[in-house]
Structure 1
Amino acid sequence: MTGREDLMLGFRLAVGGGRGSIVRLVLSTVGIGLAVAILLIGASAGTVKENRDQRAFAAYVRSEPIPGVAPLIYGATTTDFRGQVIALLHLRPTGPGSPIPPGVDRLPAPGEVFLSPKLDELVASDTSGLLRPRLPGRPVGLIAAETTLNPNDLVAYVGTDALRDGRTIYGFGAEPGFDDVIENGILMLLLLGLFLLLTPVFIFVGTVSRLGGAARDRRLAALRLAGSSLRQLRRITAAESLVGAAAGLVAGAALFLFVRGSVANFQVFRFGVYPKDLTPSWPLVVLIVLVVPALTVATAWAAQRHTVVEPLGVVRETAPPKRRLWWRLLPVLAGIALIAPDLGVASGLGRVALIAGAVLLMLGIPALLPWLLERVVSRIKGGPPSFQLAIRRLRSDSGTPSRVVAGLCVVLAGAIALQSLLAGQAALEADHQDATAGRITVHADGSVADQAIAAVRAVPGAADFQAMRSMLVDANRVDSALVAFAVADCATIEAATTTTGCRDGDVFADPLLIHKGQSVKFTDDDKREHPWTVPATPRPLAKKPSGLVESLGLHVLATPAAAAGVDLAAASVTVSLRGTTGNPDFVELVRNSVAPYSGQVTVAAYTGKRATDEARMFDDARNILLGGALFVLLLAGVSLLVLAQEQVRERRRALGALSATGVPVRVIVRSLMWQNGIPLLLGIVIATATGIAVAALGKRLFWDGLYIDWAAVGLLAAAAVAVVLLVTASTLPSVRSAAKAENLRTE
């Protein structure tokens, strides 16, 4: 036969070889299609970043004066509505040529607002009527889609003629070289996580390519008997594998297009992408189209390297060569050598070394696991019959299950390391649980403080007020630094600090900072100075964690009598209060009460553990990586399921013989569970140790201490065990069918 005829024969065997061939083709298509879709999403990362950068560049405000351009007075404020952040961009033109922000064709007039599409939807869906009063104007149009940074951004352009203390700008759009908004450490961890989540995909492709290996060998033996050469058999094998790869490429492309169409509704720690962002670069698409079929063919050929296909049958090597250890340690040692030296994560070399070292450590898992599994099962003796059957099977073929489990363990190790790194950073960024839980804090600038606080006090159910008036103090320090000063009554001071026995006339501060009789100067929001002489010896200022004193960063706290004679009318005011009505929208009522003072009043609600934006970002990143790890765990479970079903099909005669000799079906099922579970349990131990080692070596990214997220470790390990149990349970019908006496028949 010619080469073309060999390929055509392989194609016919793949699609017309009976029910078994169709089942294998469907499984291969589904498995490779899922892997291709994931690879196409990963290949879109460059386009996502490029498009996001372009939108960020377009919205960047430029303060450099431009001749002939009337400047625009620009002020940015935010408001929250039921946990969603709304950005209000206040715009006041100074002439007809003032710059226009992206997404609109004109500037809003005073009393007008342009809304982003998602904000317009939110306003339309708000049946409570609490959001509309928060908008300082009448909606007159929409900001063009795909001009906001993220699809779900809530943005409003607000026209005004009374903007005070705004920023003077002359245009929108950044010059090339504008830095990305994502912090380098977060980006580095997410890139590492993307690599770790993609690694098992290639292992899965290789596993799927081995489907039907025994049946394929029997067909090739028949062809060998008919006169085919070994070279022809390799071409036929390649053609069979290429059929599944081609079908998988088509299925993967279809799945990717489906995901692409709905990606706008998906959001990752407040970052989202538009459908056009999810466009893989053509070089990477070509690479995927070439690599996936090549990997399937190479895997199918590699599966036959210990198999001799002769005209009278198939012979497999019963004693596989002993695995060597020395080369398997090389990636681990190289990874430690790259991570251990402190090259500095701020430098490009340091980031590359850290990522490369972590990748090499992860690659050490699939290299070490087969060797370690081989050594472990060779030393196990005894146990119940089901356990002994599993050990005997693993001794004869430990490579196949270890390859599947290796991909899962790479994900487990990476997830453990990244979860620990992110948990440590989130722990540093987050504030402590304290008495501020359930409280609302309102901060008002001095010019509107009295009006805003009066409006807050008028909200139904507002109670338990704690108020402080704050300014900056020049304490005549050597470093010329100003210190934060506040005036509050004794009830507020005792609630916000650990102080007891407060009396009007007391002053609280570090005695080394100020002393009795010292002359200092206050500076209020209007930059006016007020002289003050410290009237009493300061008592220690003992702050409560995350209390009002700590949140304001206060250094000096005085009672009203101690600050007598100081004009506090222009000082900013911070008020903490609680709601007593049980209304879940109480905080929205408070925000609406101060809406007329937008830009000069901020409202924050604390419902337990307070967290900064950075802490929320780290927490969101942890959740995303944990979700990705669980998804790839599911992918590994599919690999185990495919492998288990294929093993049952290939060993149906052996299972029938076991059943005929009196071995119960439940023993056979338990042996399959041990056969999948032993490599997995061993892999979990290796993955946990590797993940902790990577976290220990990479902890200098953010902090000095080592944080291990044992909850995530336990969740991932439990999910892996659950996958094994589910896979084993799913094979029960196939085992019952295979353990029938008629499977012993032969012709």
Structure 2
Amino acid sequence: MTGREDLLLGFRLAVGGGRGSIVRLVLSAAGIGLAVAILLAGASAGTIKENRDQRVFAASVRSEPIPGADPLTYRRTTTDFRGQAISLVHLRAGGPNSPVPPGLDRLPAPGEVFLSPKLDELVASDTSGLLRPRLPGKQVGVITEGTSLNPNDLVAYVGSDTLQGQAVYGFGATPGYDNMIEQGILALLLIGLFVLLTPVFVFIGTISRLGGAARDRRLAALRLAGTSVRQLRRITAAESLVGAAAGLVVGAALFLLFRGTVANFQVFRFGLYPKDLTPSWPLVVLIVLVVPALTVVAAWFAQRHTIVEPLGVVRETTPPKRRLWWRLLPTLAGIALILPGFSVASELDRVAVIGGAALLMLGIPALLPWLLERAVSRIKGGSPSFQLAIRRLQSDSGTPSRVVAGLCVVLAGAIGLQSLLAGQAVQGGYEDRTDGRTVVYAEGPVADKAVAAARTVPGSADFQAMRSLFVTMDDALSAFAVADCPTIEASSGVTGCKDGDVFAEMPSLHKGQSVTLTDVDKKEQPWTVPVTPRPFEGRPSGIAEFQGVRVFATPSTMAGVDLAAASVTMSLRAATANPDFVELVRNSVAPLGWQANVASYNQNRITDEARMFGDARNLLLGGALFVLLLAGVSLLVLAQEQVRERRRALGALSATGVPVRVILRSLMWQNGIPLLLGIVIATATGIGIAAIGRRMFWEALYIDWAAVGVLAAAAVVMMLLVTAATLPSVRSAAKTENLRTE
């Protein structure tokens, strides 16, 4: 036969070999299709970043004067509604030529507001009536869809005639990325992307080996008919290519189906437009070429220890001893790249980090077969189901180890990256600190109105208020607070406070000393210390914690000092359980507009960074769980095929009196032993990655055991579900009819 005829014969064997061939083709197409869909999504990473960068560029403000442009006063504040962040952009036109933000056809006049499409839907669906008072002004339009950073962003453009803020001359500027935290998170997310995509290729190679025993029998029949070894390789390649081609079609369909609905999903405040999920054509071509090539190579590689002769198939009974030295090379090379240290701000160092992490991940599939082979070779005894599983693993430890290797890559990478991010959040103080209090911040001109409004919130208790200034002390500015005695005692830990007292962190002030007080408008005024300050020790707590207050003064000691420009920070609690208490607080100060918000500046900053770390951790955890789902599909496909190939052996076991439940338990052991070994290896590798990479941010090692537990539990549950799903196939295969032969 010619080469073309060999390929056609392989195609016919793949699709026309009876029910078994069709089942194998469907299973292969499903498994490879899901993997291809994930690869296409990963290939869209460049487009996602490019499109998001364009939207960020379009929305970024230009502060440098532009000839002919009237300045636009711009100020962005944030409020929350039942856990959803709402961005309020306050605008005041400086003239007819003031710039217009993207998504608007004109600037909102004072008392007018434009809403994003999702915020418009939220307002319409809110039956509580608590959201509308938060949006100052009459709605006059909707922001053009597709101009927000995320499709589900809640944004409102608010017109004002008294706004004070940043002068803006245009929109469309390159944002600065000097934040080292953002750079570190970006490097970790890039590593995470590689970690999540690497197992996909392992799963493709595993699925491509489906039907190996049946394929060997067909090839033996072809050898009997006079087919050469070279022709057999072409026929094998054609059979594999059919499954790969079907998988490409299924994967493209799944990807397009998900792409059409991606705007409806918001994953941890990160959303995409359908146009963002567009893979670059070079990567699409690469996927179309690599996936079939990988399936062919995997099918050929599976036959390296198989001799197909006209009278049958001969397999090497004793597999070659696996060598350890070359399996250690990727791990050692990865450690060598990461160990010297690096700076996440350097592009070259980021490449070294990602390359080192990639080699560490590749070391897991290389080491796991050797470790599994050594582990099961020394196990003896146990229950009948356990012995059946161990004997099966001793005769073929390569197939289960390949599936578990993909799991290990996901688990190890996710554990290491989760620990790095969690450690930075804890060590850097970016964890979200909440103690049940609601904090309100108001500018000096509206401070008294804000205090009066907050005091009238129904169901509130434990009210505290503090006016903020700065004092020049020890040749430096230090935070200075004016508050009543209950607030001072709660914030500093002192006791016996009475009006007329002054408290200082250290004896830097004395009675009669003249110092300079400065407000937020940088207005200076003198103040004479009226009494000897009482000392307080320890870090301030409560509303004074994030401002680092060093001096507390009671109101009667501020005679002659103008506090009109001193901002006020308040805190209060709900007297009884009320999930909408914070919404009532926000609504109480909503009439004050941009001059009041429910949180101080520092608390906002901490919350934003805590959210940034939380989003990155949750995004990686969600991706890891999704790839674990792919591993579960691969394991299920592999388990079903193994049951089909071993139906005669299972029928013989059943005929000799072995109960089906024993066979099912043996399958559970067969899947569980490599998985448990893989979890141990993945945990150790993940901790090693965290230990090596911790210098990206800090020196102490922090392990996110919660993430370890979630990922390990998900893997175990997946194994149990896969084993349970094979029960119908096992019952069918255990029938004595399977012992018949022709």
**Distance in 2 between residues matched to 1:584 and 1:684, nearest whole Å:** 40
Letter in 2 for 1:707: Y
In the other structure, the counterpart of 1:383 is 382
TM-score, normalised to structure 1, is 0.95
In the other structure, the counterpart of 1:88 is 88
DSSP 3-state at the match of 1:286: helix
Structure 1: unaligned runs, 5 residues or longer: none
Relative to structure 2, which stretch is displaced further, 173-182 or 375-384?
173-182
Give the number of equivalent residue pairs: 741
In the other structure, the counterpart of 2:278 is 279
| Aligned CA distance change for structure 1 residues 370 and 503 (closer, same or farther; 3 Å) | same
**Distance in 2 between residues matched to 1:115 and 1:317, nearest whole Å:** 70
In the other structure, the counterpart of 1:116 is 116
Q: Deviations over 1:56-100 (max 9, x none)?
A: 111111111112222222222222222222222222222222211
DSSP 3-state at the match of 1:155: strand
**2:330 is the alignment partner of 1:335:** no
**Distance in 2 between residues matched to 1:256 and 1:160, nearest whole Å:** 45
DSSP 3-state at the match of 1:27: helix
Question: Offset of 1:179 from its aligned partner?
Answer: 7.5
**Distance in 2 between residues matched to 1:118 and 1:432, nearest whole Å:** 29
DSSP 3-state at the match of 2:570: strand
Contact kept, 8 Å, 1:57 with 1:178, in 2: the verdict is no
**Distance in 1 between residues matched to 2:431 and 2:216, nearest whole Å:** 64
Contact kept, 8 Å, 1:587 with 1:605, in 2: the verdict is no
Q: Deviations over 1:143-199 (max 9, x none)?
A: 1111111111111222222222x2212111115998899911111111111111111
In the other structure, the counterpart of 1:500 is 495
**Distance in 2 between residues matched to 1:176 and 1:116, nearest whole Å:** 22
In the other structure, the counterpart of 1:658 is 653
Question: Offset of 1:396 from its aligned partner?
Answer: 1.6
Letter in 1 for 2:236: T
DSSP 3-state at the match of 2:556: coil
Question: Offset of 1:265 from its aligned partner?
Answer: 2.1
DSSP 3-state at the match of 2:261: helix
5 Å matches for 1:599-678?
599-604=594-599, 612-678=607-673
In the other structure, the counterpart of 1:363 is 362
In the other structure, the counterpart of 1:443 is 441
| Aligned CA distance change for structure 1 residues 526 and 737 (closer, same or farther; 3 Å) | closer
| Aligned CA distance change for structure 1 residues 541 and 346 (closer, same or farther; 3 Å) | farther
Relative to structure 2, which stretch is displaced further, 51-60 or 154-163?
154-163
In the other structure, the counterpart of 1:56 is 56
Contact kept, 8 Å, 2:515 with 2:527, in 1: the verdict is yes
Letter in 1 for 2:467: R
Contact kept, 8 Å, 2:569 with 2:600, in 1: the verdict is no
**Distance in 2 between residues matched to 1:153 and 1:181, nearest whole Å:** 25
**Distance in 1 between residues matched to 2:90 and 2:153, nearest whole Å:** 17
DSSP 3-state at the match of 1:7: helix
In the other structure, the counterpart of 1:561 is 556
Letter in 2 for 1:65: P
| Aligned CA distance change for structure 1 residues 240 and 622 (closer, same or farther; 3 Å) | same
DSSP 3-state at the match of 2:597: strand
Q: Deviations over 1:349-374 (max 9, x none)?
A: 22222222222112111101111111
**Distance in 2 between residues matched to 1:177 and 1:527, nearest whole Å:** 27
Relative to structure 2, which stretch is displaced further, 360-369 or 347-356?
347-356
**Distance in 2 between residues matched to 1:232 and 1:723, nearest whole Å:** 40
Q: What's the RMSD between the two structures over aligned residues?
A: 2.3
**Distance in 1 between residues matched to 2:540 and 2:218, nearest whole Å:** 74
Question: Offset of 1:742 from its aligned partner?
Answer: 2.6
Q: Deviations over 1:218-263 (max 9, x none)?
A: 1111111112111221111111111111111111111111111111
Letter in 1 for 2:38: I
Question: Offset of 1:43 from its aligned partner?
Answer: 0.3
Contact kept, 8 Å, 1:36 with 1:249, in 2: the verdict is yes
Contact kept, 8 Å, 2:268 with 2:618, in 1: the verdict is no
**Distance in 2 between residues matched to 1:181 and 1:100, nearest whole Å:** 32
In the other structure, the counterpart of 2:13 is 13
| Aligned CA distance change for structure 1 residues 609 and 314 (closer, same or farther; 3 Å) | farther
5 Å matches for 1:217-366?
217-366=216-365
Contact kept, 8 Å, 2:177 with 2:183, in 1: the verdict is no
Contact kept, 8 Å, 1:53 with 1:180, in 2: the verdict is no
DSSP 3-state at the match of 1:162: coil
**Distance in 2 between residues matched to 1:587 and 1:388, nearest whole Å:** 61
Contact kept, 8 Å, 1:438 with 1:605, in 2: the verdict is no
Question: Offset of 1:611 from its aligned partner?
Answer: 6.0
In the other structure, the counterpart of 1:473 is 471
Letter in 2 for 1:87: S
Contact kept, 8 Å, 1:89 with 1:158, in 2: the verdict is yes
In the other structure, the counterpart of 1:46 is 46
Q: Deviations over 1:366-393 (max 9, x none)?
A: 1011111111222222222322222222
TM-score, normalised to structure 2, is 0.95
Question: Offset of 1:2 from its aligned partner?
Answer: 1.8
5 Å matches for 1:568-583?
568-580=563-575, 582-583=577-578
Contact kept, 8 Å, 1:507 with 1:538, in 2: the verdict is yes
Letter in 2 for 1:388: Q
**Distance in 1 between residues matched to 2:741 and 2:540, nearest whole Å:** 79
Structure 2: unaligned runs, 5 residues or longer: none
In the other structure, the counterpart of 1:694 is 689
Relative to structure 2, which stretch is displaced further, 281-290 or 464-473?
464-473
In the other structure, the counterpart of 1:511 is 506
In the other structure, the counterpart of 2:544 is 549
In the other structure, the counterpart of 2:725 is 730
**Distance in 2 between residues matched to 1:428 and 1:303, nearest whole Å:** 48
DSSP 3-state at the match of 2:640: helix
Question: Offset of 1:511 from its aligned partner?
Answer: 2.3
**2:486 is the alignment partner of 1:458:** no
Question: Offset of 1:664 from its aligned partner?
Answer: 3.1
Q: Deviations over 1:665-706 (max 9, x none)?
A: 333222222222221111111111111011011111222211
**Distance in 2 between residues matched to 1:545 and 1:521, nearest whole Å:** 22
In the other structure, the counterpart of 2:715 is 720
**Distance in 1 between residues matched to 2:641 and 2:112, nearest whole Å:** 66
Letter in 2 for 1:690: T
DSSP 3-state at the match of 1:419: helix
Letter in 2 for 1:578: R
Question: Offset of 1:581 from its aligned partner?
Answer: 5.8
Contact kept, 8 Å, 1:77 with 1:598, in 2: the verdict is no
Letter in 2 for 1:535: P
